[in-house]
Amino acid sequence: MGKTHTITLIPGDGIGPEVTDAVVRVLEVVGEATGVQFAWERFAAGAGAFEKHGEYIPKELYASIERNRVALKGPVTTPVGGGFPSINVTLRKKFELYSNFRPIKNLPGLETRYPGVDLIIIRENTEGEYVGLEHEVVPGVVESLKVITEKGSTRIAKFAFEYAAKHGRRKIHAIHKANIMKMSDGLFLRCARDVSKGYPDITYGEHIIDNTCMQLVMNPYQYDTLLLENLYGDIVSDLCAAFVGGLGLVPGANLGAEAAIFEAVHGSAPDIAGKDIANPTALLQSAVLMLHHIGESEAADKLQAAIEKTYTERKTLTRDVGGSAGTRAFADAVIQAVETSRESATIT
The residues of the shown chain that bind ligand NAI, judged by CB under 6 A, are 15, 75-78, 88, 247-248, 263, 266-272, 278-279, 282, 320
With respect to ligand NAI, which residue has the nearer C-beta, 157 or 247? 247
With respect to ligand NAI, which residue has the nearer C-beta, 206 or 320? 320
With respect to ligand NAI, which residue has the nearer C-beta, 177 or 266? 266
Smallest separation, CB 7 to ligand NAI (Å): 17
Smallest separation, CB 140 to ligand NAI (Å): 26
Smallest separation, CB 77 to ligand NAI (Å): 4
Give the three-state DSSP class for 51.
helix
Smallest separation, CB 241 to ligand NAI (Å): 9
Using an 8 Å Cβ cutoff, are 174 and 206 in contact?
Answer: yes
Among all residues, whose Cβ is closest to ligand NAI? 267
With respect to ligand NAI, which residue has the nearer C-beta, 29 or 76? 76
With respect to ligand NAI, which residue has the nearer C-beta, 12 or 152? 12
Smallest separation, CB 46 to ligand NAI (Å): 9
DSSP track, 72-136: EE------TTSSSPPHHHHHHHHTT--EEEEEEEPPTT---SSTT-EEEEEEE-SSBGGG--EEE
With respect to ligand NAI, which residue has the nearer C-beta, 77 or 196? 77
Q: What is the dihedral of CA 157, 289, 71, 98, to 10 degrees?
A: 0
Distances (CA, A) of 268 to 20, 122, 243, 279: 12, 22, 21, 12
For 87, other C-beta atoms within 10 Å of its C-beta total: 23
Instruction: Catalogue the E-assigned strands of the chain.
Output: 4-10, 37-42, 70-73, 99-105, 118-124, 134-138, 141-144, 171-176, 203-208, 225-228, 253-255, 260-263
Smallest separation, CB 97 to ligand NAI (Å): 12
